[in-house]
Structure 1
Amino acid sequence: MEKQQNSLLALGVFLGLVLLGYLLANAAIQVKEYERTVTVKGLSEREVLADVVIWPIAFTEASNDLEQLYLDMEKNVEKIRAYLTLKGIDENAVSINAPSVTDKSAQQWGGGEKAEFRFLATQVVTVYSPQIELVRDAMQDIVELGKQGLVFSANNYEHMTEYQFTGLNELKPAMVQEATTNARAVAEKFAKDSQSQVGKIRRASQGQFSIENRDKNNPHIKTIRVVSTIEYYLSD
């Protein structure tokens, strides 16, 4: 009787080990299947108009009389104000920087040619406005101020016009969704070609949003772009 019980116990242990081996082998196959993945990228792109323009109007004036120089600068500022008002630009969008004055006699080195004017002043009037088209129209007609005697600064790099787009947060959700959808489409095309099926997402990485000028001639038109990188599981 005891021998029979031992035999049954041994058989039970054996069958248990066989079953355990089967389960472990099956689990290993499933794990191996889940290791099959494909990594794809999805792009979302938008073309938008800038909603803010920053236009610095820099001008210069030279004189040997410092007091007169400041008076002339004040007159020039008023000419610019009047011009911008005429063009329909809100006065609250206009800010005035203090003039920067250089005394050339203080910079004169021995043997150098004496400057015709001792004092040189530069001042900047800045327009910060959401009225893009009004400002662009004013920029195109800026020669009208030149006809009134204003001399504009030649340092274009320091006083470049900037166009900004501030509505990115409103576009982000839809663009991320579009990028994810496009990535899924690429993964499904790959899976079809390899006779597989796309499973769940293993990991995903959202790229940074970039805002760039569409081209150098139209800086007020922006291209927004985001690329998402997504890794999917594949199964047969």
Structure 2
Amino acid sequence: MESNSQTRSFGNAGLITAALALAASIVIASIVLGDALGQFKSYDRYVSVKGLAEREFPADSVIWPISFTVTGNELPALQKKIEESEQAVRAFLAANNLGDAQATRSTPRITDHYAYGGSPEQRPPHRYSAEAVLTVRSNKIQMVKEAMTATGALLEKGVMLVYSYDYQPKFDFTRLNDVKPEMIAAATKNAREAATKFAADSGSKVGSIRQARQGVFSIEQRDPYSPEIKVLRVVTSVDFFLEQ
């Protein structure tokens, strides 16, 4: 009997120990799970904002089309006038420190004014007219601008220039890849400032970046009168974690 009693005592003690261990495990698990849920909830709180960066840069490349026209009654003579006008334009470029610029002449566009018929009295004095374009490419922005204001010298040489919207100079900014990191950093900083203001209103603090999406870079001229000044703009979308 005594042996059976001792056996039951040991059995009860084992059950109690196991129960206590189970209870302790449940408590510990609850604490760990609660802490994990708290962290999960904390990481689930974030704010989405947009950041803007805008900078002005001078153009570093220009394409300048110089269009001129000649007239004549014979095609060989017309071709000679085209070559003479081209030589005059190239000499003008050299005189304005642009002799090393890349300059390519287009194929002349020839018009036969007599091909449209009409009476001799209505015909223009010259049967043919030809228009050609000498396209100048350079990175000497200031020198090109100065030469553009001095084209009256070509008129004095007998070169008939064609002024048209189709032949406007085009200024470009080609160093976008060089300034991208700076622009993205500035846009991200601007986004964090916006997130900080939002977080302050909600009694939170801005944490690390949850996700960032870079926008498209745009390059535009500052205004119609300053085509050589470019405005670069980028907008980024950033998600920041919020901390208590």
Q: Same fold (TM over 0.5)?
A: yes
Higher mean Cα deviation, 43-52 or 173-182? 173-182
Deviation for aligned residue 1:196: 0.8
Q: Determine which of 143, 150, 162 is the counterpart of 2:159.
A: 150
Amino acid at match of 1:124: V
Which aligned pairs between 1:58-97 and structure 2 lie closer than 5 A?
58-97=67-106
Deviations 1:143-163 (A, max 9, x none): 232233333335422x22100
What TM-score results when the alignment is normalised by the length of structure 2? 0.85
Contact 2:209 2:238 survives alignment (8 Å): yes
Q: Which runs of 5+ in 1 are unaligned?
A: none
Q: Distance in 2 between matches of 1:91 and 1:105?
A: 40
Higher mean Cα deviation, 199-208 or 138-147? 138-147
Deviation for aligned residue 1:52: 1.2
In the alignment, what sits opposite 1:207? 215
Contact 2:50 2:236 survives alignment (8 Å): yes
Deviation for aligned residue 1:212: 0.9
Amino acid at match of 2:80: L
What secondary structure does 1:141 align onto?
coil
Q: Distance in 2 between matches of 1:164 and 1:2?
A: 90
Q: Distance in 1 between matches of 2:53 and 2:46?
A: 23
In the alignment, what sits opposite 2:17? 8
Higher mean Cα deviation, 185-194 or 97-106? 97-106
Q: Determine which of 39, 42, 58 is the counterpart of 2:51.
A: 42
Contact 2:218 2:233 survives alignment (8 Å): yes
In the alignment, what sits opposite 1:216? 224
What TM-score results when the alignment is normalised by the length of structure 1? 0.88
In the alignment, what sits opposite 1:56? 65
What secondary structure does 1:27 align onto?
helix
Identity over the aligned pairs, expressed in percent? 39
Amino acid at match of 2:217: F
What secondary structure does 2:50 align onto?
strand
What secondary structure does 1:198 align onto?
strand
Q: Which runs of 5+ in 2 are unaligned?
A: 1-9
What secondary structure does 1:19 align onto?
helix
What secondary structure does 2:136 align onto?
strand
Larger Rg: 2
Q: Distance in 2 between matches of 1:91 and 1:196?
A: 61
- Count of aligned positions: 233
What secondary structure does 1:28 align onto?
helix
Amino acid at match of 1:42: G
Deviation for aligned residue 1:126: 1.4
Deviations 1:188-213 (A, max 9, x none): 22222221111111001122222110
Which aligned pairs between 1:163-178 and structure 2 lie closer than 5 A?
163-178=171-186
- Runs of 4+ in structure 1 over 4 Å off: none
Amino acid at match of 1:101: I
Contact 2:109 2:132 survives alignment (8 Å): yes
Deviations 1:64-84 (A, max 9, x none): 211111011111111111222
Higher mean Cα deviation, 211-220 or 34-43? 34-43
Amino acid at match of 1:186: A
Q: Distance in 2 between matches of 1:188 and 1:132?
A: 42
RMSD: 2.3
What secondary structure does 1:215 align onto?
coil
Q: Distance in 2 between matches of 1:3 and 1:194?
A: 56
Contact 2:59 2:141 survives alignment (8 Å): yes
